[in-house]
Structure 1
Amino acid sequence: MGWATDLHDASFRGVQFECTTVSDSWSKTIATHQAPYSNAASVEDMGNDPRRISIQAVYAGEDYLTWLNALLAALQENGPGELIHPIFGICYAQVTNHNVNHDVDNYDACSFSIDFVIAKSQKTKRFIPLKTQSFIQPTYIIANPAAALKQALEKLKLNDKNAFFNVVNKIRTGLQTVRNVMGIAKNAIENILSPETWATGLIDDITGLVTFDMSISAVSKWRDVIKRIQRFDKLFDTDDAQNEPVELKQLWRATQVASVVAISQSVVATVRNEMAQNQETSFTPVELAVIRQQNRQTLQQVINIEREQVSLGIDAVSQIQVYKEIADQIHLQIQELIEVHPPITTASIQVPCTLHWLAHFLYEDMERAHEIRRLNPDLVNPAVLQPGMEITVYAR
């Protein structure tokens, strides 16, 4: 996946424009110390200079002048503003210079260039609870697709009973396959004609598989269940799908997403409870960030699929909006948990030492060695830290 599939709509202070080229440059501040009559020099790295961005863009069309005047007004305001970089997304930048070019052959268009320097990002307030939902209900995700499938089944029953029974049997077989592979016992007879009921029941059963304790890594359990759910992406994609309602695949996509979201809600609830009891959390901030990224990828994939389904006559627009709202809430929930801790940083090992010595050096508390160990699961030998190693730690 390249940048062409993940472009952002470029804008500055809310005024959008079309980019043709973007150039980003980085440089370092270097102090050179040299003795007289010596060819050797000691070079000291004084840190990074702010990133510079050069954007070439165009406006075209009969209303181009309206957009150009709005952009010029935004560029002439004092102080840094919010820049949506087409590749890297949101950043805060100060305009250093800009120019506009008009060409006699293009009377309804103009090209312009803008140079920015990245300003200091706005500080995020810490230790202040965010306004997030305490729990995201899976039924909210599957409600619309379930209602659409129920209506489609009723219509199919009236028009083609053979196709109706084939679809019902396929749903029953598919659900049984999922339960067998996932190792879920069937506790009650499923009402196939009530899609919301069987979808909700399956989500609850899958969520019940995830229990976090210290005997096995919690993130390993989470990753195992997520991978098992992903195995059923093509459950209802078969060659004999001509008479099957497209609403069935839409509901199945929603059921998979709701299962992933429900498991993430279990993670959030577990960490919140451990923090409330002042216990060591089962998930580190780095692991929480991985879970957030997995949810973002899952939701983005299903949004892309839903956009392709608009031409098939199903209500994809409202379902896409549901997925967007869920993605935002999960992001805020996990960000809230991450920001309860001090920020994550790295420490460079200067002398050979152990984790206990490093914990004493950083925090004056060697008991926090296990905390550093959890933040560095790939560490081979915690008793031998060599100079030059980069260790992930909490900021002091």
Structure 2
Amino acid sequence: MSWLLTLQDASFKGRTFEVVSTDDSVSRDVAQYERPYVDGADTEDLGRKAREFQIQAVFYGLFYEDALNTFLAVLEEPGAGELVHPIWGSIPAAQLLSYRVHHDADTPDHATVDLAFVEHQDSDPFYSSAGGTLDDLMSAYDMASAMTETVSAWAAFVGALVGSVVGGAFGLIARVTGLGGLAGGVVGQLRGVFAGASSSASDYTQAPQAFGADVQAAVGGLSDDRTYESLDDWRGMTADADAVLQIPADLVAGDSQAVSDDPDGALPATLVLGTQDVARVETVLQVAVAADVVETAIQILAAQRDNPTMTPAEIEGIVTDTRRYIVAAIDKNRAAWGVVDARPMTEPLKSAAKKIQDLGLAVINMRPPLITRRTANASNFHLLAHIWYGDFSRAAELARLNPQIRNPNDIPAGEPLNAYAQ
């Protein structure tokens, strides 16, 4: 069919324009594998690259300048939009790469605009997250299953050990006693650290499930009594978490008073404990701590969504700290139960580590990029906020991003300051 029947009115983002010429190109992404002393190359087709469109638009007539300026305003708008190609029709999403306006003295009241477009295709990021929205990320972590599986593995281990003693292996009596004493000592220490923590069993070898429940309930006090309005509260919480994780090692070393003065937290000097026994107790504690840290981090990052007060570096620090506790819990589970047997515990932990990373990135990306700006003249944060953003109330934001400034009312000219791009 001829152009008379098929040619379409060209437009971009709804703004029509006349076309002089088009030049379209398509290329494919091809990997080539060459070998010494072999002619030619093996090729692997990796798919078609984005189509590129070179279009020359024309504006002419007595009022061409108004039409041209209106069209250029559309081109200045960021983001992809629909391009109606005069030959190929609608391109649902095309990204403008560049444009060039040409005037010639021999053709007054006339201008051509050379346009370069590339086809835009939405695709999943390399590290996509389930759901994708910020709310999905906040609710998608599953530390509860990791804690449940870890406690179940602990209970099965203790039950088997106690069964061996009952079955006649009386040499294990000292080991079972030591294991129960260590578990009781850990809970006793936690009761001394966290007011209100309780013990639901006097002998955890007879009620091994109770040990996990008591540890989880006590460790939940890590995040209490803090507002987390600043990074200092987070650092205080992680310092307490590190002290709690040290409890089993301190008990085994006889340094039971290093954490608390609770009399139930002391160990008799005669207890017999194997390395694996201690590791399994530490694993239950490590997963409980990681779960509480993850929950606290999610609450902080959720608050940053609605009321951003932290810099990207501070958010990154929270995510890094949280992943550190999760990775330690994964390592403890693998060391205690073996890589294969630990998978029911480690898979939810790995998922949680990924989710908290995605959540931190999503929160950071909600804010414009952080850049460095220099003051043109002696100034203050309120004036700079007005000049840079047209909003003097963002002075507090600038002060938060620049803690190195001692006198916010006397900032010298040329001072480099951290500021959001928009």
Q: In structure 1, the residue corresponding to 2:409 is in which secondary structure?
A: coil
Q: Is the Cα contact below 8 Å between 1:356 and 1:368 reproduced in 2?
A: yes
Q: Whole-Å Cα distance in 2 between the matches of residues 384 and 251 of structure 1? A: 54
Alignment partner, residue 238 of structure 2: 226
Q: In structure 1, the residue corresponding to 2:137 is in which secondary structure?
A: coil
Q: Deviation per CA, 1:90-110: give whole Å up to 9, x if none.
A: xxxxxxxxxxxxxxxxxxxxx
Q: 1:366 to 1:168 in 2, by over 3 A?
A: same
Q: In structure 1, the residue corresponding to 2:245 is in which secondary structure?
A: coil
Alignment partner, residue 290 of structure 2: 257
1:224 to partner: Cα distance: 0.5
Alignment partner, residue 367 of structure 1: 393
Pairing of 1:121-160 with structure 2 (within 5 A): 129-130=133-134, 131-134=136-139, 136=141, 138-158=143-163, 159=165, 160=172
Runs of 4+ displaced beyond 6 Å: 122-125
For 1:380, the aligned partner's letter is: R
Q: Whole-Å Cα distance in 2 between the matches of residues 308 and 137 of structure 1? A: 21
For 2:180, the aligned partner's letter is: V
Q: In structure 2, the residue corresponding to 1:231 is in which secondary structure?
A: helix
Alignment partner, residue 297 of structure 1: 324
Q: Whole-Å Cα distance in 2 between the matches of residues 236 and 304 of structure 1? A: 16
Pairing of 1:1-396 with structure 2 (within 5 A): 73=44, 129-130=133-134, 131-134=136-139, 136=141, 138-158=143-163, 159=165, 160-180=172-192, 182=193, 184-191=194-201, 192=204, 193=207, 194-212=210-228, 217-237=229-249, 238=252, 241-242=273-274, 245=277, 246-272=279-305, 275=306, 280-304=307-331, 306-307=333-334, 315-396=341-422
Q: Whole-Å Cα distance in 2 between the matches of residues 335 and 313 of structure 1? A: 30
Q: Deviation per CA, 1:121-177: give whole Å up to 9, x if none.
A: x9989xx83442426454223111110111112222232344323222212222232
Q: In structure 2, the residue corresponding to 1:236 is in which secondary structure?
A: helix
Identity, % of aligned pairs? 18
For 2:319, the aligned partner's letter is: R
Q: Is the Cα contact below 8 Å between 2:293 and 2:322 reproduced in 1?
A: yes
Tell me the number of residue pairs that the alignment of Structure 1 and Structure 2 aligns: 274
Q: In structure 2, the residue corresponding to 1:177 is in which secondary structure?
A: helix
Q: Deviation per CA, 1:332-353: give whole Å up to 9, x if none.
A: 2233333333332221233322
Q: Is the Cα contact below 8 Å between 1:203 and 1:262 reproduced in 2?
A: no
Structure 2: runs of 5 or more not aligned: 1-34, 36-40, 51-122, 166-171, 254-271
Q: Whole-Å Cα distance in 2 between the matches of residues 367 and 357 of structure 1? A: 10
Structure 1: runs of 5 or more not aligned: 1-58, 60-67, 81-121
Structure 2-normalised TM-score?
Answer: 0.56
Q: Whole-Å Cα distance in 2 between the matches of residues 313 and 383 of structure 1? A: 58
**What is the Cα-based RMSD across aligned positions, in Å?**
3.6
Q: Whole-Å Cα distance in 2 between the matches of residues 300 and 389 of structure 1? A: 41
For 2:44, the aligned partner's letter is: A
Alignment partner, residue 12 of structure 1: none
Q: Whole-Å Cα distance in 1 between the matches of residues 388 and 411 of structure 2? A: 14
Q: Is the Cα contact below 8 Å between 2:384 and 2:395 reproduced in 1?
A: yes
1:233 to partner: Cα distance: 3.3
Q: Is the Cα contact below 8 Å between 2:197 and 2:217 reproduced in 1?
A: no
Structure 1-normalised TM-score?
Answer: 0.59
Q: In structure 1, the residue corresponding to 2:407 is in which secondary structure?
A: coil
Q: In structure 1, the residue corresponding to 2:373 is in which secondary structure?
A: strand
1:255 to partner: Cα distance: 1.8
Q: Whole-Å Cα distance in 2 between the matches of residues 357 and 249 of structure 1? A: 54
Q: In structure 1, the residue corresponding to 2:418 is in which secondary structure?
A: strand
Q: Whole-Å Cα distance in 2 between the matches of residues 241 and 383 of structure 1? A: 63
